[in-house]
Amino acid sequence: MKPYETKVIFVGPFAKLCEGFVSHKQALGYKYHSEAKMLRYFDCFCRQFDSVGEIPSKELVDAFFEANPQHTPKTKANFLCTMRQFGEYLNALGNNAYIPSPTKSVKSSFTPHIFTREEMQKLFSTVDTLKRNMNTPYMHLVLPVLMRMLYCCGLRISEALNLMRTDVDLENGLLTIRNTKFGKDRYIPISNSLASICRDYAANQQISESSSDYFFPAPDNGRIGGHTIYERFRGMLQKSGIGYGGRGIGPRLHDVRHTFAVHCLRKFVSEGKDVLVALPILSVYMGHDSILNTQCYLRLTADVFPEITGRMADFYTNLFPEVNAYEAD
């Protein structure tokens, strides 16, 4: 469990079973934090019933979904997958638990917003003019560097916010990304210009005198919460004159990561580089668990920049026909 992730506490009728199951999965090496939160949500839901039996039933699972029609198909599929594993665990202990049928992988229909260079420049200009706020004394210093790091390195927001001071090698221009989404560490070389920006930031008196071990410190010197940056980002969009369509429509903060990948591939193609050679490098740089998650950007790049479609076609046509262009993480 990461330092900033609080332990999931179960308080419903299946609390002991859920605790045992989560401990079992984590002992096997799985993080199992988001799945534990799903189980807690379900466990709390079951508290409203006078009698639920000793183990979760199919009727309870069905009632849970009927009470939560707002869940997307992907959320429902993820929950059923967790409940299936839970049921298998309970059966291994000698119970006759309900095991949902296997569900097909549900692909997101969300289309990421690929920011133009002009839009990114507007965002940078907006964060560069932020004023110091006593309630968030570091934010006006953090956001200009954080946004540039997200765009120049294609980091997930959690990866950037998790950076400790010791993870940022300002002398050699190297970031160490630890315990990522897939439980791996990786090294990220950064450009000279970004390294210079980071050095100026780290040398700022407010930051250098902070007692925080985080490179981007919160007011209490702990870790900045992702939701805080999400809220700031929506404000940045408005001030930059970039329309925000609302939850599920975007643009999202994560779209800066998509933008990084697409702009990189466009640069590769424009410079005449062999994309099939560069693609595995980009995949490792972005921390994908499989090159399939990076390949999807080939078609998306051609869609966003039609002027290079002819050159892109040489690389992706009929090569990855089953890849959804919007499923990369």
Contact 184, 176 (CB under 8 A): no
Q: How far apart are CA 284 and CA 291, in angstroms?
A: 8
Contact 198, 208 (CB under 8 A): no
Give backbone dihedrals phi and psi of 209, rounded to 5 degrees, phi first.
-90, -5
Dihedral angle at the C-alpha atoms of 116, 122, 124, 130, nearest 10 degrees? -160
Indicate the pTM of the whole model.
0.70
Report the 3 state secondary structure along the chain. Answer: CCCCCCCCCCCCCCHHHHHHHHHHHHHCCCCCCHHHHHHHHHHHHHHHCCCCCCCCCHHHHHHHHHCCCCCCHHHHHHHHHHHHHHHHHHHHCCCCCCCCCCCCCCCCCCCCCCCCHHHHHHHHHHHHCCCCECCECCHHHHHHHHHHHHHHHCCCHHHHHCCEHHHEECCCCEEEECCCCCCCCEEEECCHHHHHHHHHHHHCHHHHCCCCCECCECCCCCECCHHHHHHHHHHHHHHHCCCCCCCCCCCCCCHHHHHHHHHHHHHHHHCCCCHHHHHHHHHHHHCCCCCHHHHHHHHHHHHHCHHHHHHHHHHHCCCCCCCCCCCCC
Instruction: Name the amino acid, one letter, at 140.
Output: H
Q: What is the pLDDT of residue 217?
A: 94
Q: How far apart are CA 312 and CA 314, in angstroms?
A: 5
Q: What is the pLDDT of residue 175?
A: 95
Contacts of residue 35, Cβ cutoff 8 Å, sequence gap at least 6: 22, 25, 82, 85
Contact 34, 6 (CB under 8 A): no
Contact 266, 305 (CB under 8 A): yes
Dihedral angle at the C-alpha atoms of 229, 233, 235, 236, nearest 10 degrees? 130
Q: Could you list the pLDDT tens digit for every one of the 329 residues in the chain?
A: 454 457 889 999 999 999 999 999 888 878 888 899 999 999 999 999 988 889 999 999 999 989 988 888 888 888 999 999 999 999 999 999 999 887 766 565 567 899 999 999 999 999 999 999 888 899 999 999 999 999 999 999 999 999 999 999 999 999 999 877 666 788 999 999 999 999 999 999 899 988 899 999 999 999 999 999 999 999 999 999 998 877 767 799 999 999 998 898 888 888 888 777 888 888 888 888 777 777 777 777 777 777 766 666 665 544 443 433 344 45
- Minimal CA–CA distance to 236: which of 109, 112, 115? 115
Structure tokens at 242: 């970039």
Q: What is the pLDDT of residue 327?
A: 43
Q: What is the pLDDT of residue 315?
A: 58
Q: What is the pLDDT of residue 112?
A: 86
Phi-psi region of 156 (alpha: psi -120 to 50; beta: other; left: phi over 0): beta
Residue with tokens 């007692």: 211
Q: How far apart are CA 304 and CA 69, in angstroms?
A: 34
Q: How far apart are CA 23 and CA 10, in angstroms?
A: 12
